[in-house]
A and B are shown apart, each in its own frame.
Chain A
């Protein structure tokens, strides 16, 4: 009985030790991966900053105006004017279609 307990204890010890060993290495791997991801995130953020700056640069009012003028024949964009505003009442409403009227045959319903 005593021997059995001892053997079980030793087996448990070996089991736990190998588990701890594995967890230790897994943790290190995870940390390395986290560091890699962090660097990747930092790179992505730097890229986002650059892209945002580029987006703002490409959308600068001077450039948009030049483009609108150059492609006037296709786009026909003009500065907004008070004439471009309309009240909802000015819009033409769709013609009222005559509703279908049911004309029979009627069925007698017994009381």
Chain B
């Protein structure tokens, strides 16, 4: 850099020559320098100020934008919203088709002991044993001495809680508990199943399903994301209660040791009532016992002649016969050394319609021989009788039908009248519904949500002809006791000897009646089955389904049809 001297020689010399003061030149030069420095400093200061101002401006912009955003966004409350927190450990309700409660929760308390806080463990143990007679005082006292934490009761009633509270023992503590409540008691016990406590802590306990829909939909019922949306079943509480009551009465009258009933909407496969007797109270579900067994969905039985309608359906569909075709019913029929007999002699010929109405084993055997084993197997499979039902009960999904091991000519014949094949009453109901509703396969379901209709099984014409035959069974055949005033019922009885050691029992039967009503355009299918019924009012005990299951089914229909808003058919007068 070239330095500018303070006293430029040229100007000083010329000033001296002019006689002026050369110091002025120096002062002038100093002043110039000073101004230049001041200008530079001022510039620097200005730049700094601008920078500072820009920084502040940007900072204010950021704060301002944020404030604007906060002001413009919708207000959100802090903390988790109440609903989620409240429902997190609740199990969803189960409702029937009309929205009535089948299962809900009730808040109670559990009782536990923090033993270090117990003032007098021995006295506490004695007093607790006095409140809860099933507790043993010495055992409890030993537990209090040896452990720091003791569970005493999983749930308490309000009275028990007050009694424990009155002991005034600071070491006895209450923890909140939700218990599953089935307000209707035994009604629909087998459908609902039951619950138990899973992992338990001081503040809450898991409630897990153990059977029935409680187990099938355990994950759904416990899912907090559902926000407590209830599980809607297709059951109708009042209809279910009426069916249970009438069936229990019928079971007692007929001296049966068990009974089952399935009521299904013929068009959709939705189950309106499902009963198995004896039953139990799901509020205190027993650990084991025959009452837990669901005869309607879990028990596979030979249903006997009830399945004959299927043989008629195959014969009509395959063109083997028309309803008025004559079928050979001359007996006895001997196949491979096995005698097939009819309950009473039906003469040498019957029309196909009368084979069903009079329930001829020989007639259906001949029909089955004509259309053959493959057609029979095919239709059984199409009606879902070869697989476990997809019903929403864990028990039902394990109930696989028992089919003939060697499906030879004889097996085809016995299956044609319902022997050598064992299915659940739900299977029968679904098969009947599919046959009489116009021929579309239905899927049995316990959910209110409508299920899609399956493929066509039989034609509309066949379906109408089958309905006519079923009506004939009730008007002229074995099921006249199932007649109900105002409601034309169709149906088919079935009496199967129960299997015993090495064959069939002589005097123990399973009586089944599968009913459809109203017969012309069936809205509902009802399957009633009685285990070892015996009507002892006559001279000798009567066990056939026409005398036992059919009147019970008739009474059930008489009671429930008005409940389901079915208008009765007016008498012609």
The answer to whether A56 touches B183 (Cβ under 8 A) is yes
B81 and chain A: residue at smallest CB distance: A38
Please report the total number of B residues contacting A with Cβ < 8 Å.
Answer: 32
Cα distance, A41 to B81, chains bound together (Å)? 12
The answer to whether A20 has its CB under 8 Å from any CB of chain B is: no
A57 and chain B: residue at smallest CB distance: B183
Query: Which residues of chain B have C-beta atoms less than 8 A from A13's C-beta?
Result: none
The answer to whether A49 has its CB under 8 Å from any CB of chain B is: yes
What distance in Å separates the Cβ of B179 from its nearest Cβ neighbour in chain A?
A: 10
The answer to whether A82 touches B184 (Cβ under 8 A) is no
Query: Which residues of chain A have C-beta atoms less than 8 A from B558's C-beta?
Result: 81-82
Cα distance, A35 to B562, chains bound together (Å)? 52
The answer to whether A16 has its CB under 8 Å from any CB of chain B is: no
Q: Report whether over half of chain A's contact residues are helix, strand or loop; otherwise say mixed.
A: helix
A90 and chain B: residue at smallest CB distance: B570
Cα distance, A83 to B567, chains bound together (Å)? 10
Contact pick for A82, options B241, B245, B562, CB 8 Å = B562
**Interface 0/1 of B433-454, CB less than 8 Å to A:** 0000000000000000000000
A62-B101 in contact given A79-B559, A82-B485, A82-B561 (Cβ < 8 Å): no
**Interface 0/1 of A26-60, CB less than 8 Å to B:** 00000100100010011001100110110011011
Binds A, one of B54-62, B103-111, B297-305, B356-364: B103-111
A57-B562 in contact given A49-B107, A82-B484, A82-B568 (Cβ < 8 Å): no
Query: Which residues of chain A have C-beta atoms less than 8 A from B487's C-beta?
Result: 82
**Interface 0/1 of B313-338, CB less than 8 Å to A:** 00000000000000000000000000
**Interface 0/1 of B62-105, CB less than 8 Å to A:** 00000000000000011000100010000000000000110011
What distance in Å separates the Cβ of A37 from its nearest Cβ neighbour in chain B?
A: 10
Cα distance, A70 to B181, chains bound together (Å)? 26
The answer to whether A2 has its CB under 8 Å from any CB of chain B is: no
The answer to whether B184 touches A87 (Cβ under 8 A) is no
The answer to whether A53 touches B183 (Cβ under 8 A) is yes
Query: Which residues of chain B have C-beta atoms less than 8 A from A61's C-beta?
Result: 184, 187, 237-238, 241-242
| 161-187 of chain B: CB within 8 A of chain A | 181, 183-185, 187
B239 and chain A: residue at smallest CB distance: A61
Cα distance, A93 to B337, chains bound together (Å)? 72
What distance in Å separates the Cβ of A93 from its nearest Cβ neighbour in chain B?
A: 19
The answer to whether A52 touches B184 (Cβ under 8 A) is no
The answer to whether A80 touches B104 (Cβ under 8 A) is no
Cα distance, A81 to B100, chains bound together (Å)? 23
Query: Which residues of chain B have C-beta atoms less than 8 A from A41's C-beta?
Result: 82
A49 and chain B: residue at smallest CB distance: B105
Cα distance, A82 to B486, chains bound together (Å)? 6
Cα distance, A104 to B352, chains bound together (Å)? 78
Contact pick for B101, options A56, A85, A87, CB 8 Å = A56
Query: Which residues of chain A have C-beta atoms less than 8 A from B568's C-beta?
Result: 82, 85
B240 and chain A: residue at smallest CB distance: A61
The answer to whether A50 touches B107 (Cβ under 8 A) is yes
Cα distance, A41 to B487, chains bound together (Å)? 51
B561 and chain A: residue at smallest CB distance: A82
The answer to whether A42 touches B181 (Cβ under 8 A) is no
A42-B86 in contact given A61-B238, A62-B184 (Cβ < 8 Å): yes
Cα distance, A81 to B242, chains bound together (Å)? 13
What distance in Å separates the Cβ of B204 from its nearest Cβ neighbour in chain A?
A: 14
What distance in Å separates the Cβ of B14 from its nearest Cβ neighbour in chain A?
A: 53
Cα distance, A85 to B563, chains bound together (Å)? 11
Contact pick for A60, options B77, B185, B559, CB 8 Å = B185
Query: Which residues of chain B have C-beta atoms less than 8 A from A34's C-beta?
Result: 77
The answer to whether B570 touches A49 (Cβ under 8 A) is no
Query: Which residues of chain A have C-beta atoms less than 8 A from B77's C-beta?
Result: 34
The answer to whether A56 touches B184 (Cβ under 8 A) is yes
Query: Which residues of chain B have C-beta atoms less than 8 A from A56's C-beta?
Result: 100-101, 104, 183-184
B246 and chain A: residue at smallest CB distance: A79
Cα distance, A80 to B245, chains bound together (Å)? 14
Query: Which residues of chain B have C-beta atoms less than 8 A from A80's C-beta?
Result: 559, 562-563
What distance in Å separates the Cβ of B224 from its nearest Cβ neighbour in chain A?
A: 15
The answer to whether A57 touches B107 (Cβ under 8 A) is no
The answer to whether B104 touches A52 (Cβ under 8 A) is yes
What distance in Å separates the Cβ of B57 from its nearest Cβ neighbour in chain A?
A: 20
**Interface 0/1 of A75-95, CB less than 8 Å to B:** 000011111110100000000
Give B contacts to A, CB under 8 Å. 77-78, 82, 86, 100-101, 104-107, 181, 183-185, 187, 237-238, 241-242, 245, 484-487, 558-559, 561-563, 567-568, 570
Q: Please name 10 pairs of A and B residues whose Cβ atoms are closer than 8 Å in the assembled complex, sorted by A.
A: A31-B78, A42-B82, A53-B101, A53-B105, A53-B183, A57-B181, A61-B238, A62-B184, A85-B486, A85-B562
Nearest first, the 8 closest Cβ-Cβ pairs linking A and B are A82-B486, A61-B241, A82-B568, A56-B183, A56-B101, A80-B562, A57-B183, A60-B184
